């Protein structure tokens, strides 16, 4: 079965008469460009489409091919918005966000040793349902095509399905990151009915006792296993999310998690780098070594061969490598995405404890402009800023102990003593 969509670029003046016909033929995508600039734009877009097609289709969703849970299905109107956003960013030099992560609560049943959540704001209460709705609407107006609800544990927010159903599927896909503890059959079906595209469930260790210890929650591992099954049964796209450490790469634990992802039938596995943030903010010695990165890249290449039968591995290690198509991504913070904390602070990403202001005081458009015009974020950067010595020396290491997070960016730029977020 094939599906054909017409992509147009009404927000890009010189491309307003360019028409792309995008069609999925089995697992491959083909396109045909007509109109002004077709000869110029078609090669760029064809390279992108061919690269996706070579990675293999993970699933079908509403007639489109899914190549990653972080991308809208192709073809689709949401994906057309994504392509238009890239054109605006790279050709018009007008930064356009593709994704937003929104914290809908700081509450969680776990007390993870590696938790990156800054904690409750000393100034602002959690966003109300109406304020979260406004954040969703303003994010869509900026151009995002992927909205991810996070926490804390987002399933603890009783209005989560309300937020999900407010996202028009022709504009964006919706993901939910969860620890799996509350993802029973009923909640999985409820998320699906609300319009959820995918759930990402976190797993820290292939050993049940170790996962429970890291989460400080007995039974957490078994809940992950059951949540995966419940989500798949409900017809959701399912991802397994974990992080790589030097130890987990060296002792084979990470490889065993990949094996579990295959056994449990997930569609995609996300492997983030261990990042010194949150409760690990000052643990810079934990960052991956060159040898660990080399081993992780080898694991990714082996597992992503379609003939090997593993779920797709999407790694931060590749995204920040500067190799091939990774050059188009690099550090996603303030480039591809932004984060809104549960108390309304706009942060470059949920790993960066720096606020560019609060949505209660400013529009998202103004805060995004402030972020993308700042010297630390106005240029493309391949490697993760939170793992960059230069960035950390200027923006992270000067944070005094016990300072409430996130810290307002002006504290560093102006050299002020007041580092609380009140903008």
Instruction: Render pLDDT for 23-42 as a digit per residue (tens, 0 to 9).
Output: 999 888 999 999 999 999 98
Between CA 24 and CA 12 the distance in angstroms is: 25
Predicted local distance difference test score (pLDDT) of residue 387? 98
Ramachandran angles phi, psi of 247, nearest 5°:
-70, -45
Give the integer Cα–Cα distance in Å for 103 and 358: 13
Report the distance separating Cα 68 and Cα 285, nearest Å.
31
**How many Cβ atoms are within 10 Å of 186's Cβ, its own excluded?**
11
* Contact indicator for 137, 130 with CB cutoff of 8 Å: no
Cα 220 to Cα 209: distance, rounded to the nearest angstrom: 9
DSSP characters for 247-297?
Answer: HHHHSSHHHHHHHHHHHHT-SEEEEEEP-S-GGGTT-GGGSPPHHHHHHHH
pLDDT at 27: 87
pLDDT the model gives residue 1: 59
pLDDT at 118: 67
Per-residue pLDDT of 292-308, as tens digits, reads: 999 999 999 999 988 88
Strands 28-34 and 59-61 come out as unpaired
Predicted local confidence at residue 418, as pLDDT: 39
Q: What is the pLDDT of residues 225-248, one digit of tens each?
A: 999 999 999 999 999 999 999 999
* Exposed / middle / buried, residue 330 (Cβ in 10 Å: 0-12, 13-18, 19+): buried
pLDDT of 414 reads: 61
Cβ distance 109 to 179 under 8 Å? yes
pLDDT at 423 (0 to 100): 44
pLDDT mean for each 10 residues of the chain (423 residues): 85 91 91 93 90 90 96 96 93 94 96 85 89 98 98 97 98 98 98 98 98 98 98 98 98 98 98 96 96 97 89 96 91 96 97 97 98 96 97 96 93 58 43
- Whether residue 75 is preceded by a cis peptide bond, meaning omega within 30 degrees of 0, is yes
> Alpha carbon of 227 to those of 201, 252, 343: distances in Å?
8, 24, 28
CA-nearest of 123, 84, 127 to 364 is 127
Whole-model pTM? 0.95
Nearest to 315 by CA among 262, 266, 244, 267: 244
Dihedral angle sign, alpha carbons of residues 156, 60, 300, 253: positive
Q: Residues of the chain with pLDDT > 70: what percent?
A: 97
């Amino acid at each position: 079965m094939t599906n054909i969509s017409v992509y147009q670029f009404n927000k890009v003046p010189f491309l307003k008469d360019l028409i792309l016909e995008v069609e999925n033929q089995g697992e491959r995508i083909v396109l045909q460009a007509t109109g002004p600039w077709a000869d110029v734009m078609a090669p760029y877009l064809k390279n992108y489409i061919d690269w996706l097609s070579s990675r293999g289709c993970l699933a079908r969703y509403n007639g489109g091919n899914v190549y990653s849970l972080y991308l809208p299905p192709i073809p689709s109107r949401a994906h057309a918005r994504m392509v238009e956003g890239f054109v605006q960013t790279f050709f018009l030099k007008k930064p356009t966000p593709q994704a937003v992560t929104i914290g809908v609560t700081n509450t969680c049943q776990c007390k993870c040793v590696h938790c990156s959540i800054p904690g409750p704001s000393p100034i602002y209460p959690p966003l109300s349902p109406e304020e979260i709705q406004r954040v969703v609407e303003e994010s869509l107006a900026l151009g995002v095509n992927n909205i991810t609800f996070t926490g804390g544990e987002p399933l603890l927010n009783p209005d989560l399905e309300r937020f999900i159903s407010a996202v028009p599927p022709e504009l964006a896909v919706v993901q939910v990151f969860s620890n799996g503890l509350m993802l029973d059959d009923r909640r999985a079906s409820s998320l699906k009915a609300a319009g959820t595209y995918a759930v990402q469930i976190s797993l820290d260790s292939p050993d049940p006792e170790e996962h429970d210890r890291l989460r400080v929650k007995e039974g957490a591992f078994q809940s992950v296993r059951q949540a995966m099954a419940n989500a798949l049964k409900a017809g959701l796209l399912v991802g397994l999310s974990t992080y790589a450490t030097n130890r987990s790469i060296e002792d084979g634990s990470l490889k065993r998690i990949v094996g579990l992802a295959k056994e449990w039938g997930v569609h995609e596995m996300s492997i983030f780098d261990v990042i010194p943030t949150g409760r690990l903010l000052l643990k810079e010695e934990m960052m991956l070594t060159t040898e660990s990165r080399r081993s992780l890249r080898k694991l990714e290449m082996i597992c992503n061969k379609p003939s090997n039968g593993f779920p797709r591995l999407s790694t931060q290690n590749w995204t920040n490598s500067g190799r091939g198509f990774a050059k188009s991504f690099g550090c996603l913070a303030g480039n591809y995405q932004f984060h809104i904390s549960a108390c309304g602070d706009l942060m470059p990403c949920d790993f960066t404890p720096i606020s560019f202001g609060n949505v209660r005081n400013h529009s998202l458009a103004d805060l995004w402009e402030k972020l993308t015009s700042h010297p630390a974020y106005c240029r493309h950067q391949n490697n993760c800023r939170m793992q960059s010595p230069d960035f950390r020396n200027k923006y992270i290491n000067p944070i005094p102990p016990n300072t409430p997070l996130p810290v307002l960016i002006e504290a560093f730029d102006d050299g002020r003593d007041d580092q609380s977020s009140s903008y």
